[in-house]
């Protein structure tokens, strides 16, 4: 079976400063794959290279066997993408937000309204559907974005920090939806997070990133079982392989924090 | 793929997903979609059309009526009539430049990357946005036209001329929207885009025939006027709405050419905004 995502030798630098290097990973069809690491580790950069938002100067990336640089449009029909920032259009209602993506993905006109209703319902937003997204809570915006990403029934769902900035209740709500999507559709999910506990629960396999490189890759249970001490968790795995704390790179993380604050303000 | 039984989400279609639209049909569909979004936003915020009519209203009322009485600017028609198309073009200019700047907000909020990851080629996105700016500008201009009519400006009632004038507004707005996308793609910073746009918008207006006829301009101003797309837009609108002599074909040709060039440049640059 062709892998859902295959990344080989990816390297990307922003104006000479290396953001990711030597990235090799394969996401199998049907699995939930987690890209983990502290802020600034290079998760978003990797995701943006996979979606072909960033031109890939070195390395190859293919999605379901299609090279992303050569088959950009075909690849985009296969993926649903939720970026790190809360990016629903706050000037539109929930339903309008989803309809927009139905049109952009050429969902046939006859099926459009029914499909929009269906995904809005699946994300638990039916009652709020005709309110403007500016009135939504952070968790609702995230679920709205999931609805937008699902409207085209993608084969690969790419979620960049789907729970960043949410309260614990909203976080578990988002993970529940992701689990349900997975259960109901068998969709492949590539997700990034810096919350190790969430990844441990939700992902079949994870890659731990640090300073632009993948340090270790495997199933959470297997990685934890390999630890010298019993009763460990993914945090311990990270420490064992990286040797320092998750919270270093504070300054690198500031950009993300500022960005999500800005979004929070924008969304009122 | 497995585990489909009893799914509340029907994915039977996913693997056999329709190939989707391609080529011209896709571009037209994307233009339609992005224009529709603009109409939906305006429906939620009708007040925006009114508040943005305030400035053109002031131009017409204060500048227009005063200079009509002073008769310092010699024109073939009453000065208020002469001025009205210039003010229309100005309000379309503001709307479309601002619309282009807004793309920077969309970029910072992640909306733009999400659009760029849909099966929408950059050209379709740019053209769609450009025409959406046009739609917004036409509706804005409509408010100003009503205002001008109330003030007694001798506007045409010929539906064909009005339609053509709307087309001119769309074309001009598409150009100016792309102009700010080009600036955005070059400087890649929201603050600088805002600064540069503010710095060019007034000179564009004053170095055009919006306020006074070309014959009154000093040579250097005439030179700018000659390459200023706004002047061609104003000339066309004046001819169509007021009936003053104009070079309609030249105007349309210049506007269409400038817009095509701007779309091509903006298309090359818009991908940079997704990085
Ligand atoms: N647009 C950009 N311009 C310059 N540097 C960037 C840009 N985006 C990310 N970086 C840098 O690349 C590194 C990786 O960032 P990122 O991929 O966003 O990490 P993560 O998503 O894991 O938090 C960081 O050092 C960050 O500062
Ligand atoms: Mg990130």
The b/e string for B84-100 (b: 16+ C-beta within 10 A; e otherwise) is bbbbbbbbbbbbbbbbb
What tens-digit pLDDT sequence spans chain A (268 residues)? 689 999 999 999 998 899 999 999 999 999 999 999 999 999 999 999 999 999 887 779 999 999 999 899 999 999 999 999 989 999 999 999 999 999 999 999 999 999 999 999 999 999 999 999 999 999 999 999 999 999 999 999 999 999 998 999 999 999 999 999 999 998 999 999 999 999 999 999 999 999 999 999 999 999 999 988 888 899 889 988 887 655 544 444 444 444 454 444 444 4
Residue A148 CA to residue A143 CA, distance in Å, equals: 9
Per residue in A249-267, pLDDT tens? Answer: 444 444 444 445 444 444 4
Q: How far is A80 from chain B (nearest CA, A)?
A: 8
Give yes or no for a contact between B184 and B195, defined as CB atoms under 8 angstroms apart: no
> Ligand 1: does its nearest atom lie under 6 Å from the Cβ of A14?
yes
Question: Which one of A106, A110, A178 would you mutate to disrupt binding with B, by most B Cβ within 10 Å of its Cβ?
Answer: A106
In a domain, B7, yes or no: no
CA of A39 to the centre of ligand 2 (A): 6
Which superfamily, per CATH, for A5-267? P-loop containing nucleotide triphosphate hydrolases (3.40.50.300)
Indicate the SS3 state at residue B11.
coil
Pocket test residue of A19, A41, A159, A247 for ligand 1, highest count of atoms within 8 A of CB: A19
Of B40, B117, B275, the CB nearest to A92: B40
> Which residues, other chains included, contact B213 with Cβ-Cβ below 8 Å and sequence gap of 6+?
B73, B74, B75, B82
pLDDT at residue A1, as a whole number: 65
Flag whether the ipTM exceeds 0.90.
no
Q: Nearest CB to B113: which of A77, A83, A93?
A: A83
- What is the pLDDT at residue A56? 84
Task: For residue B1, give the nearest of A119, A150, A186 by CB distance.
Answer: A186
A266–B2 C-beta distance less than 8 A: no
Contact B114, B235 (CB under 8 A): no
pLDDT at position B14 is: 43
Residue with structure tokens 């995904």? Answer: A119
Ligand 1: nearest atom to the Cα of A253: 23
pLDDT in tens, B141-169: 999 999 999 999 999 999 999 999 999 99
Q: How far is the CA of A158 from the centre of ligand 1 (A)?
A: 18
Residue owning the nearest CA to atom 26 of ligand 1: A40
For B84-100, what is each residue's pLDDT tens digit?
Answer: 999 999 999 999 999 88
Q: CB distance B113–A154 less than 8 Å? A: no
A71 three-class SS: coil
Q: Answer for the pair A61, A86: CB distance below 8 angstroms, yes or no.
A: no
Q: Which chain B residues are closer than 8 Å to A55 by Cβ?
A: 275
Tell me what pLDDT residue B75 has: 84
**Radius of gyration of chain A from its Cα atoms, rounded to whole angstroms:** 18
**B174: in domain:** yes
Q: Which domain holds residue B207?
A: 13-273
Q: What is the mean pLDDT of residues B115-131?
A: 94
Q: Which residue from A45, A206, A247 has its CB within 8 A of the most atoms of ligand 1, so it is best to mutate? A: A45
What's residue A248's pLDDT? 46
Per-domain boundaries in chain A: 5-267
pLDDT in tens, B176-233: 999 999 999 999 999 999 999 989 999 999 999 999 998 889 999 999 999 999 999 9
Question: What is d(CA B138, CA B126) in angstroms, rounded to the nearest whole number?
Answer: 18
Token digits for A158? 């790419």
Measured between beta carbons, the chain A residues lying within 8 angstroms of B17 are 77-78, 152-153
User: Do B36 and A54 count as a contact with CB atoms less than 8 A apart?
Assistant: no
Residue of B nearest to A88 (CA): B111
- The model's pTM: 0.87
Contacts of B36 in chain A (CB under 8 A): 103
Residue of A104, A133, A135, A265 to mutate for B, most B C-beta atoms under 10 A: A104
Mean pLDDT, rounded, of chain B: 89
Task: Tell whether ligand 1 has an atom less than 6 A from the beta carbon of residue A256.
Answer: yes
Q: What is the pLDDT of residue A244?
A: 60
| B8 falls within a domain | no
Q: Is residue B2 part of a domain?
A: no
Among the partner residues A105, A108, A181, nearest to B9 by beta-carbon distance: A181
Q: How many domains does chain B have?
A: 1
**Residues above pLDDT 70, as percent of chain B:** 93
């Amino acid at each position: 079976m062709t892998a859902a995502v295959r990344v080989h030798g990816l390297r990307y630098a922003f104006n000479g400063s290396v953001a990711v290097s030597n990235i090799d990973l394969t996401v199998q069809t049907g699995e939930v794959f987690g890209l983990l690491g502290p802020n600034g580790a290079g998760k978003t950069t990797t995701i943006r290279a996979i979606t072909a938002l960033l031109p890939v100067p070195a390395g190859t990336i293919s999605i379901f066997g299609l090279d992303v640089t050569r088959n950009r449009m075909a690849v985009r029909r296969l993926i649903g993408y939720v970026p790190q920032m809360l990016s629903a259009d706050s000037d539109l209602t929930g339903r309008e937000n989803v309809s927009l993506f139905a049109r952009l993905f050429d969902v046939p006109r006859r099926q459009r309204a029914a499909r929009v209703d269906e995904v809005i319902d699946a994300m638990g937003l039916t009652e709020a559907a005709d309110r403007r997204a500016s009135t939504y809570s952070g968790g609702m915006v995230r679920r709205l974005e999931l609805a937008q990403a699902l409207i085209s029934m993608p084969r690969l769902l790419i979620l960049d920090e789907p729970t960043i900035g949410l309260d614990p209740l909203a976080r578990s709500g988002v993970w529940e939806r992701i689990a349900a999507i997975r259960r109901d559709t068998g969709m492949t999910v590539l997700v990034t997070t810096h919350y190790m506990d969430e990844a441990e629960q939700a992902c079949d396999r994870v890659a731990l990133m640090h300073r632009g490189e993948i340090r270790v890759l495997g199933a959470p249970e297997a990685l934890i079982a390999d630890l010298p001490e019993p009763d460990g968790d993914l945090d311990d795995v990270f420490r064992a392989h990286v040797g320092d704390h998750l919270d270093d790179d504070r300054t690198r993380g500031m950009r993300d924090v500022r960005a999500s604050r800005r979004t929070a303000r924008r969304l009122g | 793929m497995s585990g489909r039984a009893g799914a509340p989400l029907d994915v039977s279609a996913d693997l056999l997903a329709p190939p989707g639209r391609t080529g011209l049909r896709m571009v037209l569909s994307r233009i339609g979609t992005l224009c529709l979004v603009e109409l939906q936003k305006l429906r939620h915020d009708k007040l925006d059309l009114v508040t943005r009519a305030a400035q053109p209203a002031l131009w017409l009322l204060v500048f227009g009526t005063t200079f009509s009485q002073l008769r310092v600017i010699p024109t073939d028609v009453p000065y208020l009539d002469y001025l009205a198309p210039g003010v229309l073009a100005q309000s379309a200019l503001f709307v479309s430049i601002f619309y282009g700047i807004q793309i920077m907000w969309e970029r910072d909020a992640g909306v733009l990357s999400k659009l760029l990851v849909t099966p929408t080629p950059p050209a379709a996105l740019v053209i769609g946005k450009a025409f959406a700016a046009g739609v917004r500008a036409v509706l804005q201009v409509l408010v100003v036209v009503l205002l001008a009519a109330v003030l007694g400006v001798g506007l045409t009632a010929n539906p064909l001329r009005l339609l053509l004038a709307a087309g001119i507004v769309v074309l001009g707005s598409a150009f100016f929207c792309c102009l700010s996308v080009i600036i955005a793609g070059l400087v890649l910073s929201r603050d600088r885009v805002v600064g540069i746009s503010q710095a060019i918008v007034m000179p564009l207006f004053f170095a055009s025939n919006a306020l006074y006829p070309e014959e009154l301009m000093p040579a250097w101003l005439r030179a700018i006027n000659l390459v200023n797309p706004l002047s061609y837009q104003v000339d066309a609108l004046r001819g169509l709405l007021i009936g003053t002599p104009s070079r309609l074909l030249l105007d349309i040709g210049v506007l269409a050419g400038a817009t095509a060039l701007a779309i091509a440049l903006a298309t090359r640059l818009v991908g940079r905004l997704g990085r």
